[in-house]
């Protein structure tokens, strides 16, 4: 009994889906689930979500709810495409950063200075950004043949990509080196091939922009938890009255947090344009700002947890690039996860939850054993249903900043 209970502890619940996925991928028809191509696509798809989610931490740790991430990402896509088209991709990165920061500043003015409800201000940002992007497109691309009201001209130049020499086939002196990770993946050895497929996907053809974006995760950990600035920022989201009483400028910290949040979301938007599509199109963000917010909640308002959450969503999104037959194996993964949930719920005496999880597991098992593929619509919906499932299971361990979403007026400490 004790051994069974130990297996359903939270840390094992995190590893359980990964182990199950590796076992399922041993079948030839499901091998793409752990291929380097899948993991590489997942990394590229998770980065804009991760940037938005990590940016949201700065805002929400300072006490300001930021559901305007989607609008700030829209500004990042527009300014990133405009500057990238005119001046080059790195200028697009900078312009996307500044465009998102500008709308983050607008959100800060509304919520901090004018005490507007955070949700209302965030919704207004999302609506305003969509309208501003359409207006700017009409003005900027009126006489451009390849541009228009809903899209920009193509950004021709791309940011350089690298692979690690001798590990993932990188080049030295313009000569391709040995690909160790690819060779080990091709051996088709249980677990080893899957691990090196992951390593290959994460180290092959990675752009410098991706490296910059990923580096912001450990940098944010250091800033928020190892510097005086980070301590002050987090303190105004926990106890602003006490922070003000010891000399912290509460308004300034909130302004910095929300503006930084917008800048990160702008980077996320620029990434979608410069790294993924090479062009701005209306509706390009596709709700990734909201998924970034969900990944932040899943990560319990911490950068590393947010990165893991965005990785999960990125992986789910990457499955749209796989064959329907390969994705069919996820049905079995869902069955195994639901069985684990049912067992855990039973032992903690949540009988209704256990029965519900077991019933759904049986339905998915019937679907799995009576089909060989899944509809493309199910694959397309996977990232969104993953968001709902993850948040429902993560909700019981969350600990948000105490003063989040509340208005604060300067001088309340006196």
pLDDT tens column, 379-395: 777 666 666 666 666 55
Most confident range, picked from 20-34, 48-62, 234-248, 292-306: 48-62
Domain ranges of the chain: 1-32+324-398, 35-163+205-321
pLDDT tens column, 70-94: 999 999 999 999 999 999 999 999 9
CA angle 313/10/53 to nearest 5° reads 30
Q: What is the DSSP letter of 395?
A: G
Quick one: tokens of 61? Answer: 């740790």
Say what the pLDDT of residue 8 is. 44
Percent of the chain with pLDDT over 90: 47
pLDDT tens column, 273-318: 999 888 999 999 989 999 999 899 888 899 998 998 898 888 888 8
CB-CB contact of 253 with 43 (8 Å)? no
Distant-in-sequence, close-in-space partners of 60: CB < 8 Å, separation ≥ 6: 66, 237, 261, 296, 301, 400, 401, 404
**d(C-alpha 70, C-alpha 386), whole Å:** 19
pTM: 0.91
What are the CB-based long-range contacts (under 8 Å, 24+) for 241-244?
A: 241/408, 241/412, 241/413, 242/413, 244/410, 244/411, 244/412, 244/413
Torsion (CA) 36, 41, 47, 48 in degrees, nearest 10 = 180
Architecture of the domain made up of 35-163+205-321:
Orthogonal Bundle (1.10)
Quick one: tokens of 143? Answer: 């006489």
Distant-in-sequence, close-in-space partners of 225: CB < 8 Å, separation ≥ 6: none
**What number of H helices and E strands is found in the chain?**
18, 4
CA angle 289/307/82 to nearest 5° reads 45
For residue 360, the Cα-to-chain-centroid distance in whole angstroms is 28
């Amino acid at each position: 009994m004790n051994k069974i209970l130990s297996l359903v502890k939270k840390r094992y619940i995190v590893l359980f889906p990964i182990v199950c996925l590796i076992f399922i991928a041993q079948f030839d028809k499901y091998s793409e689930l752990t291929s380097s191509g899948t993991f590489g696509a997942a990394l590229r798809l998770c980065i804009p979500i991760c940037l938005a989610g990590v940016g949201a931490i700065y805002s929400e740790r300072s006490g300001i709810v930021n559901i305007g991430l989607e609008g700030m990402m829209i500004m990042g896509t527009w300014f990133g495409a405009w500057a990238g088209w005119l001046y080059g991709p790195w200028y697009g990165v900078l312009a996307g950063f500044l465009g998102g920061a500008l709308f983050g500043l607008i959100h800060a003015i509304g919520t901090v200075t004018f005490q507007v409800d955070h949700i209302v201000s965030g919704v207004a940002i999302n609506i305003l950004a969509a309208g501003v992007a359409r207006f700017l497109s009409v003005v900027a691309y009126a006489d451009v043949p390849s541009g228009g009201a809903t899209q920009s001209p193509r950004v021709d130049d791309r940011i350089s990509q690298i692979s690690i020499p001798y590990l993932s086939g990188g080049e030295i002196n313009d000569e391709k080196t040995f690909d160790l990770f690819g060779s080990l993946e091709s051996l088709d050895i249980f677990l080893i091939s899957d691990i090196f497929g992951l390593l290959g996907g994460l180290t092959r053809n990675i752009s410098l922009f991706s490296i910059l974006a990923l580096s912001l995760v450990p940098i944010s950990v250091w800033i928020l938890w190892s510097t005086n600035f980070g301590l002050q920022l987090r303190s105004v989201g926990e106890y602003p009255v006490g922070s003000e009483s010891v000399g912290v400028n509460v308004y300034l910290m909130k302004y910095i947090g929300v503006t930084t949040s917008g800048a990160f979301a702008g980077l996320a938007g620029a990434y979608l344009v410069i790294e993924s599509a090479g062009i701005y199109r209306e509706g390009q963000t596709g709700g990734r700002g909201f998924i970034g917010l969900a990944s932040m909640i899943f990560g319990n308002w911490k950068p590393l947890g947010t990165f893991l959450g965005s990785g999960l969503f990125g992986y789910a999104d990457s499955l749209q690039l796989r064959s329907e037959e390969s994705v069919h194996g996820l049905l079995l993964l869902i069955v195994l996860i639901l069985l684990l949930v049912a067992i855990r719920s039973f032992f903690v005496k949540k009988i209704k939850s256990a029965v519900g999880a077991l019933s759904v597991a049986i339905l998915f098992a019937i679907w799995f054993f009576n089909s060989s593929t899944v509809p493309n619509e199910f694959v397309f919906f996977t990232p969104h249903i993953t968001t709902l499932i993850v948040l429902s299971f993560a909700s019981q361990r969350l600990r948000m900043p105490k003063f989040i979403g509340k208005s604060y007026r300067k001088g309340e400490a006196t």
